[in-house]
Structure formats: C-alpha cells, structure tokens
Amino acid sequence: MLVIGTFDPTTPRSRQWFRLLGRLGCTVEQRNIPAWDPDRASTTARRPLAMLPRVLWALAQLSWHLLTCERPDLVVFLYPGHVDACVLGPIARLRRIPSTLDIFISLYDTVVLDRGLHGKRSPQALATRTLDTIACWSVRRVVVDTPEHAAFFASFTHRAPERFSVLWVGADESLYRPAPDPGDAAPILWYLTYIPLHGFDTVARAAAVLEQSEPGRTLRLVGDGQERPAAEATAKELGLHNLEFVASVPERELPDEIAHASVCLGVFGISDKAARVVPNKVFQCAAAGRAIVTAATPAIRTAFGDALVTVPVGDPAALADALRSLHGEARLQAGARAREVFAERFSDAALACDLERALGALLLRD
C-alpha cells in the first residue's frame, strides 16, 4: 500500500490511519512532501498563489514517483489531500491502481459556509467547490468522518452514496486514558480554535448564568484562533470572571488538561457543518472517561446516542442547567457512559474493523 501526497503526517487523523493500518498488518510505503500551512483551509482560501510554487514542486515529485514506482495494491491520499487526489488520482487510475481519499472536510463548507471567509458567489467559493467535487470524483472511494458527512458529500458532489465510507475520528489511546477524578471543584475544560463551529457565544452566555448560580466554578478555555479577540471582547462585555483564557498547548499536554477537568465541553455552533461533525475533543474526552456536554446534533446522536449530556443547539440556559446538574455521582456516571461507548465503538480495535471493511470495498471492482 502506498500512502502518498502533501498531507500532514502529524495530524491526529493521519496518525490514526497509520495506527489502524499497522493494526491490520498492512505493509505501508509513505511518500510525503508537506506543502501546506498549519491552518490549511484558511490559507487555501486567502493566499492560494503564495503556496502554489511549493505545492506544484511537491506534486511534480510525487507524480513521478507514482508513475515509476513498483505497482502497489492500493493508493491512499490523506488530509489535506484534495489537490493530491485531483492530480495523483488520475495517475493511479492510469496505472489501474485503486485509490481512496480521506477527504475529512469540505473546503467550500469550511471557508464559505462555516467560517464565512468568502461569499457564496465569490471566485474562492467556486474554486473550493470545484476542488471538493473533482477530488471526490478522482478516486474510487472517499472516506469521511461521519455518516452525516457522507450524505453531505454525496449530495454536494453528485457522487453515488455507496462510494463513501465512514471512519470515525476516534482518539489515540496511548495518550487519552482514564485518569483519577479531580472532584467537582475542578475547572470545566473547553479546548478550541475559536472558529464559528465551536459556538463561543453560547458558552459565554451560559457562563454568565453559571457565574450567578455557582460563582466558584471556572471554565478553562485552552486555545487560540480566528475569533479569540472577539471572544475576549464578548467576555469583557458580559463582565465574566469565570472564564480563564489560556494559550494553545501541544497535544501531548492535552491529556493532563483533561485529567484536571471535572467536565469537558464539545461544540455548540449553529452552522450546518456543526451538525455533521463529531470533533476530536469529544472522542478524546470520552476516551479519558470525562463527562461531556455538547450540542444535540445529528452527528453526536449517531455516534454516542444518549451517552453524552446534550443540550439544544444555541441554548445557553440549557447548557448552564446541564453544567449545574453535573456534580458528584451524576458527573461520574456521565463520564463512565462516555468511556463505555468509546471503548465499544471508537477504540482502535473497533475502528480497525471499520477501516478493513472500507478498504475491502475499495479493492472490489465495484
């Protein structure tokens, strides 16, 4: 198997693929030339020409390798792999090698609909929408992270639903493990990148309610990003003293942050994208056995059923009520339920079976 492209091998999603392929006993050749900035979606939308030389040079080298290497059984494009699939996918098809793309996100959905960086009729909107569509049509099978995303991409790109497979995000169990309970007085943890998907306004207004009823309770916000200055301005406007803004930390420090939290928060955005995703943080906190409060979206319900504490989308009062209810045994039971579902459905052992089915479908000439 050849995993090839300009993907970032350090992302949790890429590391997940390599863990699961190793668990399945696959022999993997990795051919990788990173070419993207850390905030890939925004950079693609805002400064595509600045990246063009290094992306083209990387793709030229990768194309030559794919044309001349010993024929693998399978070619895999990992995130961010939209451009990789568009350029290298046809080469794989020319050599009659089945290929798959783990698309992970829609560029159009992210930069236009969710983040609002460009209008729906802008050249950038047309470019990202076209790139999404061509990428999905350049491979035999597309892997996504939720069934809701599979339905979205099938409709968006006009590709048959049976061409999509789901591989849930999961969590690295070597990092995210159950830890001793820190007690009710420990902070509520929310780590985020301050994009609209996360729904900061809902959390801030819930914090305002909580400050009145439980003045000693703190919400620890770990992260940086697009809307952090506006978030801090909102907190100041609301007169909040129970929000602790903390800079981003390396992923290796996140397990400690979770271990010292009483409750963890998921996502509360009101966009269509927020309804279709289950982010890394939810799986990671579930793996650690922490009580999780998040919005009651279709994707969350599909993944966890009633194992998480969910609240209506965009409802600060309901969020505050949910947080007030999580004390003592109720909080511990919520964490145990989340951990149980994670172990059953989203552990590496379970997800390796899902990936095996997806790759099996890919290798069939369907």
Residues 273 and 125 in one domain: no
Reported confidence tier of residue 49, pLDDT bands at 50, 70, 90: low
pLDDT of residue 242: 97
Asked whether residue 175 is assigned to any structural domain, the reply reads: no
In the chain, the amino acid numbered 291 is A
Mean pLDDT confidence for 210-229? 93
- 196 and 149 in a common domain: no
- Note whether residue 323 is domain-resident: yes
CATH number (domain holding residue 163): 3.40.50.2000
- Evaluate if residue 40 carries a pLDDT over 60: no
Position 129 scores a pLDDT of: 93
Query: Measured between alpha carbons, how far is 129 from 260 in angstroms, rounded to an integer?
Result: 42
- Tell me the pLDDT tens digit for each residue of 66-109: 999 999 999 999 999 999 999 999 999 999 999 999 999 999 88
Give residue 138's pLDDT band: very low, low, confident or very high (50, 70, 90): very high
* Count of the separate structural domains present in the chain: 2
Cα→Cα distances 47→42, 50, 51, 148, 287, Å:
8, 5, 7, 30, 37
Q: Residue 313 falls within a domain, yes or no?
A: yes
pTM: 0.92
**In the predicted model, is pLDDT for residue 53 greater than 70?**
yes
Residue 183 · residue 219 · CB < 8 Å: no
CA-CA distance, 309 to 294, in Å (whole number)? 7
* Residue 153 and residue 285 share a domain: no
Mean pLDDT score across all residues of the chain: 93
pLDDT given at position 36: 78
61 and 112 share one domain:
yes
pLDDT at 20 over 80: yes
| Contact (CB, 8 A) for 355 and 245 | no
pLDDT value of position 361: 79
In a domain? residue 263: yes
Shared domain for 204 and 225, answered yes or no, is yes
Shared domain for 73 and 222, answered yes or no, is no
Res. 42: pLDDT tops 90: no
Domain match, 316 and 356 both: no
- Upstream peptide bond of 80 is cis (omega within 30 degrees of 0): yes
Cα–Cα distance, 221 to 232 (Å, whole number): 11
Q: Are residues 161 and 198 in the same domain?
A: no
35 and 11 in a single domain? The answer is: yes
**What's the pLDDT at 39?**
57
- Return the closest-CA partner of residue 206 out of 279, 265, 260, 257: 265
pLDDT of residue 45 exceeding 80, the answer is no
- The answer to whether position 40 is within a domain reads yes
Residue 99 lies in a domain: yes
Range of the domain at 246: 188-346
**pLDDT for 157-197, tens place per residue?**
999 999 999 999 999 999 999 999 999 999 999 999 998 88
Considering the domain architecture, whether residues 19 and 158 belong to the same structural domain is answered as yes
Regarding whether 213 and 139 lie in a shared domain, the answer is: no
User: For the residues 146-158, what does the mean pLDDT come to?
Assistant: 96
Cβ–Cβ under 8 Å, residues 43 and 36: yes
The pLDDT assigned to 44 comes to 53
Task: Provide the pLDDT for residue 304.
Answer: 97
pLDDT of 41 > 60? The answer is: no
**pLDDT (average), residues 321-330:** 96
> Considering only 42-56, 156-170, 197-211, 229-243, which range has the smallest mean pLDDT?
42-56
Give the mean pLDDT of 204-220.
95
Residue 182 lies in a domain: no
pLDDT at 46: 54
Task: Please check whether residue 176 lies inside any domain of the structure.
Answer: no
* Claim to verify: residue 27 and residue 88 sit in the same structural domain: yes
